[in-house]
Amino acid sequence: MILDLQNIYKDYQQDKLVVPVLKDVSFQVEEGEYVAIMGPSGSGKTTLMNIIGCLDRPTSGNYLLAGEDVLKCRDKEMSDLRLRSIGFVFQSFHLLARQTALDNVALPLSYAGVKKKERKERAAQALERVGLGDRMTFKPTQLSGGQKQRVAIARAMVNNPKILLADEPTGALDSKSGEQIMDLFRQLNDEGVTVVMITHDRNIASRAKRVIHIIDGMITEEGKSQANSMAVEEEEPQANGMAVEEEELQANSMAVGEVGKEAENG
């Protein structure tokens, strides 16, 4: 088991008010899975991602990342966990503008203490893997959005992390580049990479083999099995099911809005 989250709670302190963001979240991800965590904005999915990504600590609960108890780690060890076990892909790429694609991809390796020559080789391999073997010396400004995201994915992959953690990876891309990025994730997953993706977009989420819905800080429904999701395109009832889901979703997000108002009034 790569991810094992048990009874995760997360509260934020807002002035004197304690706002619960995650409420009793528990789920597991096995090695080689392709999971989408889906929810509307304000549902706590970003907080969840931060916790999975070892960027944040839950208020309570248990989290094992590849068997390691993340919550017992100190700051330095959290950094090392991020370095070794997690590959981040962000919505806005977060590439270093002044560095070439190759240097951008090699960055995590320098923190891992890899020798310079090996860094170049491995970064080059990673760029080949995402189909940018011919763009190694390009700077981010010379690359299209889709290409930038590929560089970012190469950077996330270069240190062979346990999971690839993507936060709205297609959010800043046009639909065509987005498609290509999704294809790339699929390809990487087929090659055995565990992918966890956070998104609010149902179409994107539907590309994953398993969808975890998070609404109002709670996991409401675990997605379909791999077999079922493969059949999505053909079966009408499935589409209906999705519609139902959407209604639920809206209802929930309204509920969130009301909670927010109440909080303001209080």
Partner 1 sequence: MLENIRLSLQGLWSHKMRSFLTMLGIIIGIAAIIAIVSTIKGTNEQIKENLIGAGDNTVNIQFYQGDYPYEIDYNGIPDGVPVISEETRQQLLDLKHVEGASLYTSREAYNVVYYKNTGLSGGRIYGVDRNYLDTCNYIIKKGRGFTESDYKKFRKVALLDESSAETLFQGEEPIGKTLEIQREPFIVIGVIAKSSQFEPVINTIEEYYDYSQNNNGALYVPDTTWPILYSYDEPQSAVLKLDSVDNMTVAGRSAAEILNSKINVQDDTMKYKADDLLKKAEDIQKLGQSTNMMLIWIAGISLLVGGIGVMNIMLVSVTERTQEIGLKKAIGARKGKVLGQFLTEAAVLTSLGGLVGVIVGIVLAEVISRVTGTLMAISVPAAVLAVVFSMFIGILFGLLPSYKAANLNPIEALRHE
Applying CB under 8 A, the residues found at the interface with partner 1 are 50, 53, 55-56, 75-76, 79-84, 86, 88, 90, 94, 96, 98, 107-108, 110-112, 116, 155-156, 159
In the chain, the largest separation of any two C-alpha atoms, in whole Å, equals 60
Residue among 158 and 211 whose Cβ is closer to partner 1? 158
Q: Which two tokens stand for residue 262?
A: 């109440």
CB of residue 212 to partner 1, shortest distance in Å: 21
Rounded CA-CA distance 208/197 in Å is: 8
CB of residue 123 to partner 1, shortest distance in Å: 13
- Asked whether the beta carbons of 197 and 185 are under 8 A apart, the reply is yes
Q: Which residues contact 15 (CB under 8 A, 6 or more apart)?
A: none
CB of residue 79 to partner 1, shortest distance in Å: 5
Residue among 121 and 245 whose Cβ is closer to partner 1? 121
Residue among 14 and 265 whose Cβ is closer to partner 1? 14
Buried b (16+ CB within 10 A) or exposed e, 165-183: bbbbbbbbbeeebbbbbbe
Rounded CA-CA distance 102/72 in Å is: 35
Using the 8-state DSSP alphabet, how is residue 96 labeled?
A: -
Residue among 79 and 203 whose Cβ is closer to partner 1? 79
Residue among 130 and 211 whose Cβ is closer to partner 1? 130
CB of residue 241 to partner 1, shortest distance in Å: 34
CB of residue 34 to partner 1, shortest distance in Å: 22
Residue written as token pair 């995650």: 22
